[in-house]
Structure 1
Amino acid sequence: MRPRLIEQFLFPYQHSLRISVEVRAKNVFERIGADAEPHVFLVGIAWPAIPGRHDICIEPEEGPWPQSLFSTTPESLEVAWRQHPDQRMFYGDEQTMRDKPENICRSVVTEAVKRDLDRAYVAHGVRSFVSRARPIDGYYVVTVVQAPEALFAKFPPISYEWMGEPAESSFLLSCIQALLREAERALELPQPGRFIDDGFRSAEEIARQAASNFMRTPFLSGEMAYSDIFSEFNAISRLMYEGTKGRGRMILAKADDPKLDYVMKLAEPVQLRDTRWARKLLQMGSGDMALITGYQSIYGFGRIAEDDTPSCSVEFFDQQQWDFRHGNRILLRTQFGEPRLPQELISDSRFLDNFKRIFLSAGDEAAARYRGVLKVLLEQSRGCMLVVAEDAAIEAERLDLQGTRIEPTPLTPDLIDRASRIDGTILADPQGVCHAIGVILDGAANDRCTPSRGARYNSAIRYVDTSTAKRLAFVISEDGTLDIVPLLRPRVSVAEIETMITTLENATLDSHYAPRNYLVDRRFYLNEDQCTRVNSALDRFDALSLEDGRIRLIIDRFQPDPAMNDNYLAP
């Protein structure tokens, strides 16, 4: 077995470390609902210059990030170090003064890499985030996480002022910063990358820590939360009060905020950490009156004047379910202790595509009508189910003894509100006309049914799957989750699939990861010939990995999926 030769060498296990960080980044993005793929690479800058070695090294060296991206040189870093504003800082602590030169070095490198990446990628709609530099074997090494700018436009940060300076924060930004801290900690180890994961926290732990950090943001001018208010809100949301679920609102504000209109002020503030007392008070914080809460204490009940500066608030809408808001905008949504980015349960484009592919004769107007119907159903705050069936009129007659057949009536918000209050299913046709309510569906059980899901979900599976007629079910559970049966896989581009297969076939061992991961995620769409080509490429990379002595990931070989058809392909 011959050793692997790395031209741009930083440290022995640089490849393993980068892969570990990238896998964790992808897991975090998936967990919080960030619909984009992050990319991770390492940059090392020699300072001072090392004879016979590159001034700049990048891992992976055959990736899409060339050394020419960086204008930074050891000489330019030396100039930046001498001119750094922290050179004029003097600390009373002796150890801090001793650490100052090295801390400036790390800051200078971090800032230089970030500046070069912004210059190269901002115009291409990519945002770069850089960890604090760490000295390793003559190089200052940083970890870079890149993600598309469109993701930050979809989940924009909120602005605030801290210590007289403008700042911004979001849950997404906090997650990326938490990932970079994990990478920086891994680089501090004696042999970074040697051990799998190097003690990285799980994606779940990183997301929760990021949510906690985000909730500490000084949204209230001049104040910062030092307690873990994310965990405190979770604890409050878990409790019931005399058998009722927690629903109510807390406005985050300073006790003396001039915009506050107190209806009732507590003689002594109640601490948020006093969970049972806080939960009891929450019972009164509903409608247009809310609890007035700081980062540590509850001050009373009241309202806040509407003006050009939106307030921050926490909306408890069910047991273990709450939103953190800025004005009317949701910044963070938490369900059962798990923080996620706020987003629709299904996007308009995905919904319309799914509806029109199932009901081929339905036009845009019918599909848009049902998009509105679904929004009404989700606003009911109760469990319910609606089935759209092309044979709805016939089924209403067949199931007459298992429901209430009505005169064909267009679905309206009022009809949906009344019909969803009783057990059973609302049955309508693709044009939005209701034929029956309170229907008990039938159908044979199949392998898609599962005891881990509720009766509504399994009933929808049985009814939809056993029919030759086209049917679509919307299943809303009591906790507000949505299942659409069936929810067809998105269509993918034929040309894009073919391009990625060709890229994989022509890739090197260091550059094959991106096309491989793309195809693994989309293996459902490949035909028999394409599966054969991908498997041949994977066999080649496995052989090269063994030859180079690398740790390799065993990929299940591709085979055509019998459920795949041309309906899943786009031009």
Structure 2
Amino acid sequence: MPDASAYPMWRYQRRFQLAADAMARSAFSSLDEAIEARLFLVGFRRDEATEGPAACVEPDGLGHDASLFATVPALADELYREDPEHRTRPADSVAQQSPYDRVLLRSWQRAVERTMAREEDAAVWRSFASWPVDVEDYRVVCVLQLPDEPVAAYYALNRDTVDDYYRVATSLLDALAEVFLTECGKALGEHHPGRSRRVVDSTISELHRNAGRGMTQTLAWVCRSYESVHALYDALCDLAATRYEGAPTRGRLLVSAREHPNVERMVEFDQPVLLEDTRAARKLLEVTSGTLCALSEGAELHGLGRLSGAYDEEREDLFVVDFVDHQAWQLSHGGQVLMRVHYGQPGLPVQPLDAGKLRSTIRRIFRGIGDEDITRLRLMVRAATRQANGTLLVISDHAAEEARRLAVQSTLIRPTVLTASLVHSLSAIDGALLVDPQ
């Protein structure tokens, strides 16, 4: 049994932190192995009359001293009083006097995040805070940190609030951070949090799908399509999974307010079609081609049209959904991919191939390889990355030997000099290509 004197917040604080940290690492590294997340706890004593330090950090080896958070309670109170939602409510309202007041909880969250933003390592780590949860004598906040460099490589929206205080996701990683911290908050609210081995009940796949839903909720909020806030992601997945006369779903959907200045409506439906009416919506997608797109504000298809004029990307209120293959679609803004979805599972956009790094890696692994072979391999790898559903290209000095070993479960071909176009064609089906570097 843990020594209570060593863990002033509550008996199982260390076990909770270790389990949550491990889950965070898995959740983010499975999207991109370069994103090595970490999580720590910070607790604030709720009553000055009780014993124990005013603020605690678990663990204490990350360089965040408890004194850093000494001003958080005062800052949270200041943010609470300045919050637009708080100012518009009667002083004697029930919500305002409740410890579960969402404005109060949100103020604590923002106070911790602002405090972390002033830290010396703020340029190295991006910090996200959960809503606080009262655990025994302490108000506890989970702080999730993501390394800035790999996260910054992915496109993200700038606007993170709607109507001044409703928080929306700016990227899939941002959405996953919110989903994960919400799960941690629920776990903190359980009896003796950390006592059981598992802290977060959701699987990694479930966390990712909920993050995908969070990303599409941004569209619904921005387009004021409130009825589609919780349904848009699954409706798009259902559309991508529905064939029309045996053909996979392909087409383009523009998501914006109905009267967007950069959307030219060419056909208006007399009766809009709900996106959740999968068969009818899928049939209408079949007529989209080239610049002709289906139009939606998030809940229903109301016509056909096209992009028009020069869109001001700072508006962040016009999004594109491309259905690229069976059960495969992607969400974009301003020509930048925000999220790719394959068989209901969201993923990050494919990063542009770093030709210099690839060339260096090939030289390091295959000693003595010539420039011509390096160029050929680089073009083959680039062709493989363009597959809509991904593929596997295995480059080995022992390719011929390995091919013979796998002969029963593969299709052998005679030694052939592969070109980029041939690689793209051969990798269109499930499986892997085995290639000799020469």
Alignment TM-score, normalising by the size of structure 1: 0.64
**Aligned-pair CA distance for 1:357:** 3.5
Query: 2:419 matched to which residue of 1?
Result: none
Tell me the residue number matched to 1:239. 242
CA distance in 1, matches of 2:387, 2:86: 61
Give the Å deviation of 1:78: 9.0
What residue in structure 1 maps to residue 192 of structure 2? Answer: 191
- The equivalent position to 1:478 in structure 2, one of 420, 425, 428, is 428
Compared CA separation, residues 235 and 130, structure 1 to 2 (3 A): same
* Range that drifts further, 332-341 or 41-50: 41-50
1:71 offset after TM fit, Å?
Answer: 3.5
Deviation string, structure 1 residues 409-450 (Cα, Å, up to 9, x no partner): xxxxxxxxxxxxxxxxxxxxxxxxxxxxxxxx994225xx89
In structure 1, the partner of 2:404 is: 444
Structure 2 CA distance for partners of 1:78 and 1:64, relative to 1, 3 Å = closer
CA distance 1:348–1:194, change in 2 (3 Å): farther
Question: For 2:176 and 2:196, how far apart are their aligned partners in 1?
Answer: 24
Whole-angstrom CA distance in 2 between matches of 1:164 and 1:173: 18
- TM-aligned CA distance change 1:48 to 1:87, over 3 Å: farther
Task: Please tell me whether the aligned partners of residues 55 and 70 of structure 2 are also in contact (alpha carbons under 8 angstroms).
Answer: no
Quick check: 1:24–1:202 contact (8 Å CA) kept in 2?
A: no
User: Which residue in 2 is equivalent to 1:175?
Assistant: 176
In the alignment, which of 266, 272, 276 is matched to residue 279 of structure 2?
276
**Contact 1:34–1:341 (CA<8 Å) still a contact in 2?**
no
Range with bigger deviation, 53-62 or 208-217: 53-62
Q: Is the 8 A contact 1:13 1:193 kept in 2?
A: yes
Alpha-carbon offset, residue 126 of structure 1: 1.1
Shift of 1:191: 1.3
Matched, 1:117 2:116: yes
Query: What is the CA distance between 1:73 and its match in structure 2?
Result: 7.0
Kept after mapping to 1: 8 A contact 2:169/2:218: no
Aligned equivalent of 2:251, options 248, 251, 271: 248
Secondary structure, in 3 states, of the residue corresponding to 1:196?
coil
SS in 1 for 2:337: strand
Quote the offset at 1:242 in angstroms. 1.2
Deviation at 1:32, TM superposition (A): 2.5
Larger mean Cα displacement after TM superposition, 165-174 or 374-383: 374-383
Q: Which moved more, 1:248-257 or 1:266-275?
A: 248-257
Report if the CA contact (8 A) 1:227-1:296 is conserved: no
Supply the distance in 2 between the matched residues of 1:24 and 1:153 (Cα, whole angstroms).
22
Mapped partners of 1:144, 1:259: distance in 2: 40
Mapped to 2, the partners of 1:164 and 1:3 lie a distance apart of 44
**Aligned twin of 1:33:** 32
Pairwise CA distance, 1:42: 0.5
Residues 260-299 of structure 1: pairs in structure 2 closer than 5 A: 260-299=263-302
Shift of residue 234 of structure 1? 0.8
> What is the aligned partner in structure 2 of residue 210 from structure 1?
211
Select the structure with the greater relative contact order (CA < 8 A; seq sep ≥ 6).
2
The corresponding residue for 1:415 is none
Relative distance call for 1:363 and 1:91 in structure 2 (3 A) is farther
Alignment of 1:31-430 (within 5 A): 31-33=30-32, 35-50=34-49, 52-72=51-71, 76=74, 80=78, 85=83, 88-91=87-90, 94-99=93-98, 106-160=105-159, 162-163=162-163, 169-198=170-199, 200-218=201-219, 220-224=222-226, 225-310=228-313, 311-344=318-351, 348=355, 351-363=358-370, 367-368=374-375, 370-376=377-383, 379=386
- Contact 1:263 1:301 (C-alpha < 8 Å) held by counterparts: yes
Q: Which moves more between the two structures, 78-87 or 9-18? A: 78-87
Counterpart AA for 1:322:
W
Report if aligned partners of 1:443, 1:463 keep a CA contact under 8 Å in 2.
Answer: no
Q: Say if 1:199 and 1:148 are closer, same or farther in 2 by CA, change over 3 A.
A: closer
Unpaired stretches in structure 2, ≥5 consecutive residues: 417-421
Cα distance between partner residues in 2 of 1:253 and 1:242: 29
Report the secondary structure of 2:158's partner residue. Answer: strand
**Matched pairs, number:** 422
User: Residues of 1 paired with 2:266 and 2:343: CA distance?
Assistant: 32
What runs of 5+ residues in structure 1 fail to find an aligned partner?
Answer: 396-440, 465-472, 488-571
TM-aligned CA distance change 1:312 to 1:197, over 3 Å: same
Residues 474, 485 of structure 1: 8 Å contact kept: no
Residue 122 (structure 1) shift: 4.8
Alpha-carbon distance in 2 for matches of 1:479, 1:390: 24
* Greater radius of gyration (CA): 1
Secondary structure of residue in 2 paired with 1:11:
coil
Deviations 1:15-49 (A, max 9, x none): 12112211221221133336211011100111333
Q: 1:498-550, CA deviations, whole angstroms, 9 ceiling, x for partnerless residues?
A: xxxxxxxxxxxxxxxxxxxxxxxxxxxxxxxxxxxxxxxxxxxxxxxxxxxxx
Tell me, in whole angstroms, the C-alpha distance in 2 between the residues paired with 1:385 and 1:42. Answer: 40
Please tell me whether the aligned partners of residues 403 and 434 of structure 2 are also in contact (alpha carbons under 8 angstroms): no
The one-letter amino acid paired with 1:15 is: R
**2: CA distance, partners of 1:206 / 1:391:** 39
Q: Do the aligned partners of 1:162 and 1:221 also contact (CA within 8 Å) in 2?
A: no
3-state SS of paired residue (1:356): helix
Identity of aligned residues (%): 24
Partner SS for 2:350: coil
Letter in 2 for 1:119: R
Instruction: For 1:474 and 1:158, locate their aligned partners in 2 and report how far apart those are by CA, in whole Å.
Output: 35
CA RMSD of aligned residues (A): 3.9
Give the CA deviation at 1:102: 6.1
* CA distance in structure 2 between the partners assigned to 1:377 and 1:108 by the alignment: 47
Q: Counterpart of 1:44 in structure 2: which amino acid?
A: G
Given that 1:29 and 1:36 are in contact with CA atoms closer than 8 Å, whether structure 2 keeps it comes out as yes
2:44 counterpart SS class: strand
Q: Contact (CA 8 Å) 1:81, 1:104: kept in 2 or not?
A: no
Greater shift after overlay, 25-34 or 171-180? 25-34
Bigger shift: residues 195-204 or 170-179: 195-204
Distance (Å, rounded) in 2 between the aligned partners of 1:78 and 1:252: 36
